């Protein structure tokens, strides 16, 4: 066990649920996974003691996107905030390949990737380093026996709190009412986060400069109304 990690934390990959690859990658995507990903992939064999050293521009601000899907939102944010270092986590290799294509197309130098569980990156980061974390339309794991797989558990909120600075925002979007309620219950009992919403408009409207994702477009077309929650680290 490394003494610089939080208590009882070791670098053992977290268990992942569901598929990690769907259809066969296109030739271009395969080449990106083989040639570009090794340069952008995080080395979690040791703690990420100096996150700024991972990026050529030595950023002072760091954001994370958990489960970035095809990477559209992450790439757009990284393009508009090139002074920010982004950590993107996605276990689905097809999504990683799509994100790599966007990174290459825009020549983005401020993204580092982990093709695996975001919890492994969170446990490797130093304290109070993240100023924003996105979790957009995660798998709701709808069956009761699956609820333990939902990302924003009590334990994960504690782990996130360690690496988020005071005032940092945890931004969560979902189109599943039950998942929203489940997460809110855990936020409201968390000693580390507050939900500063004052009215329904605070979660009905997306964040400023929001770029919709493909999943959100599908949800809207099927009649599901998204909710956008902003939780703040105490």
On whether residue 172 sits in a domain, the answer given is yes
On whether residue 123 sits in a domain, the answer given is yes
On whether residue 94 sits in a domain, the answer given is yes
Could you list the residue range(s) of the whole structural domain that residue 87 is in?
43-198+209-233
pTM here?
Answer: 0.89
Q: Could you give the CA distance from residue 215 to residue 168 in angstroms, rounded to a whole number?
A: 26
Q: Could you give the CA distance from residue 47 to residue 59 in angstroms, rounded to a whole number?
A: 18
Could you say which of 120, 139, 192, 202 is catalytic? 139
CA–centroid distance for 95 within its chain: 13
Closest of 231, 16, 204 to residue 135, by C-alpha: 231
On whether residue 64 sits in a domain, the answer given is yes
Hey, CA dihedral for 104, 111, 173, 202, is it positive or negative? Answer: negative
On whether residue 53 sits in a domain, the answer given is yes
On whether residue 19 sits in a domain, the answer given is no
On whether residue 144 sits in a domain, the answer given is yes
* 98 φψ region: left (φ > 0), alpha (ψ -120 to 50), beta (else): alpha
Angle of CA points 104, 122, 48, to nearest 5°: 70
State yes or no: is 107 an active-site residue.
no
Number of independent structural domains in the chain: 1
Per-residue pLDDT of the chain (234 residues; tens, 9 = 90+): 333 333 333 333 455 444 445 578 889 999 999 999 999 999 999 999 999 999 999 999 999 999 999 999 999 999 999 999 999 999 999 999 999 999 999 999 999 999 999 999 999 999 999 999 999 999 988 888 989 999 999 999 999 999 999 999 999 999 999 999 999 999 999 999 999 999 999 999 999 989 888 889 999 999 999 999 999 999
On whether residue 193 sits in a domain, the answer given is yes
In CATH, what number is assigned to the domain containing residue 123? Answer: 3.40.50.150
Three-class SS state of 188: helix
| CB contact at 8 A, 33 and 39 | no
């Amino acid at each position: 066990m490394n003494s610089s990690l939080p208590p009882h934390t070791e670098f053992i990959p977290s268990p992942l649920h569901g598929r990690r690859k769907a259809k066969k990658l296109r030739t271009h995507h395969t080449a990106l996974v083989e040639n570009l990903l090794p340069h952008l992939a995080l080395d979690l064999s040791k703690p990420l003691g100096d996150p700024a050293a991972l990026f050529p521009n030595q950023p002072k601000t760091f954001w994370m996107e958990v489960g970035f899907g095809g990477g559209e939102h992450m790439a757009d944010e990284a393009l508009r905030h090139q002074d920010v270092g982004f950590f993107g986590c996605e276990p689905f290799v097809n999504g990683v390949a799509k994100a790599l294509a966007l990174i290459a197309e825009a020549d983005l130098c401020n993204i580092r990737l982990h093709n695996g569980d975001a919890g492994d990156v969170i446990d490797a980061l130093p304290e109070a380093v993240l100023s924003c974390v996105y979790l957009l339309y995660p798998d709701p794991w709808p069956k009761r026996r699956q609820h333990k797989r939902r990302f924003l558990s009590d334990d994960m909120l504690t782990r996130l709190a360690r690496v988020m600075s005071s005032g940092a925002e945890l931004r969560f979007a979902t189109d599943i009412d039950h998942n929203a309620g489940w997460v809110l219950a855990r936020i409201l009992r968390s000693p580390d986060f507050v939900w500063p919403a004052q009215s329904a408009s605070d979660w009905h409207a997306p964040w400023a400069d929001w770029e919709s994702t493909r999943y959100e477009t599908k949800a809207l077309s099927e009649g599901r109304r998204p909710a956008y929650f902003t939780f703040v680290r105490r």
